[in-house]
Structure 1
Amino acid sequence: MSEKEIPPPPRWVVELNSPPPSRSKSASSLPDPPGFLSSKAVSKKSEQKTRKPPTQEEMDTLKLKKSWEIALGPAKQLPMQAIMGYMSGNSLQIFSIMMVFMLFKGPLQAIAQTNSTFARLEGENTRSQMLGVKAVYVLMNCLLLALGIWKVNAMGLLPTTRSDWLAWEYARTPLERAYFPR
């Protein structure tokens, strides 16, 4: 008996496995589309453009710019947090309580980690400028804390009226001194 002959693979498998024949530029009558760069032009362009490494002054400028972006980041959160605070309402519900918790937790953590936040961007030449950046960062986080205090006050949890303090102003009479009729 003869072995089973393996049929040849389909034409699409053969075409997929073999690269297409290269066409020469002279053989093609169609021009390249606008903006198309042939592989030869790309290789020539990459040889011509060799990027020089940035100087220390340029790196310091970039680090300072990035640090200002980080410092102003909490200010970009203010409108969103204010809208969320307004939308959550002033009643004591789990959503509003969790929102107030996050309004206090985030800025307090950010203020505590200020030095570590800017440690990778701080250099010998930018140390004096980083003090101002850190101060702005702390100020912006304090604005977020103020928003949290406003929200707690709007919820009625801060003792800001006289009636809130009346319980603490007057001494209470102990039960032993109370007079009961016989």
Structure 2
Amino acid sequence: MDKGKSVMGSGRRWAIEFTDNSTSHSSRDIPDPPGFTRASQDQDDSAVSKQKKDAEANWKSQKAWEVAQAPVKNLFMMAFMMWMAGSTVHLFSIGITFSALLQPLNALRGVGKVFEPFKDNRVDLLTPKLVYILLNLAGLGLGIWKLNTLGLLPTNVSDWVSSLPPAQEVEYSGGGIPL
């Protein structure tokens, strides 16, 4: 292109003059290019957005199930740690047992927060929440079982002797009279 020549004067085939100052033209007056219709674009956009929403709902559902099944890993690890701690009462076994009790309790208390990122009208969260709750209840049961194994739960009659009333005396022995 030579210097000093205008764009329109250069003889280009696809040149557009932007110096039209008339306000009578609007974007509606300009015809759509061949093969383009606004209705098809709207339909394509709605189909693409629907596909995106469906993909997002599927992803949220999949992630919700992953979160719901996460306590299974914790169950096996905690069971192994309890087995390694033994059945005698000492600091390590008590610490592991109370950890096994507190983790499921905290998880059960925060079920709503755990599944908050996956909240959507198209995603069913009831079943993953129930699975999550059941697995955490199984973990809680494992901790209670370990408490019983350690003998820290009052399950025998002898554990409640202090709360029983004293037995009534049936006989009295006073000894003999000294001579």
Normalised TM-score (structure 2): 0.62
1:159 aligned residue (151, 154, 161): 154
Alignment of 1:11-160 (within 5 A): 55-126=52-123, 129-160=124-155
Query: Which moves more between the two structures, 112-121 or 91-100?
Result: 91-100
Aligned length: 122
Shift of 1:142: 0.5
Runs of at least 5 residues in structure 2 that lack an aligned partner in the other structure: 1-47, 169-179
- Higher RCO by CA contacts (8 Å cutoff, separation 6 or greater): 1
Q: Partner amino acid for 2:128? A: V
Q: Partner amino acid for 1:62? A: W
Paired with 2:149 and 2:78, the residues of 1 have a C-alpha distance of 14
Q: Partner amino acid for 2:108? A: I
Q: Partner amino acid for 2:85? A: S
Normalised TM-score (structure 1): 0.61
Shift of 1:172: 7.6
Paired with 2:97 and 2:167, the residues of 1 have a C-alpha distance of 33
Query: Which moves more between the two structures, 71-80 or 160-169?
Result: 160-169
User: Larger C-alpha radius of gyration, 1 or 2?
Assistant: 2
State the percentage of identical aligned residues.
35
Paired with 1:103 and 1:172, the residues of 2 have a C-alpha distance of 40
Runs of at least 5 residues in structure 1 that lack an aligned partner in the other structure: 1-51, 174-182
Shift of 1:110: 0.7
Secondary structure of 2:143 counterpart: helix
Q: Deviations over 1:42-65 (max 9, x none)?
A: xxxxxxxxxx88611111111111
Paired with 1:93 and 1:143, the residues of 2 have a C-alpha distance of 24
Q: Partner amino acid for 1:80? A: M
Q: Deviations over 1:77-109 (max 9, x none)?
A: 212211110110122211111111111111111
Q: Partner amino acid for 1:151? A: K
Find runs of 4+ consecutive structure 1 residues off by over 4 angstroms: none
Shift of 1:111: 0.7
Shift of 1:171: 3.7
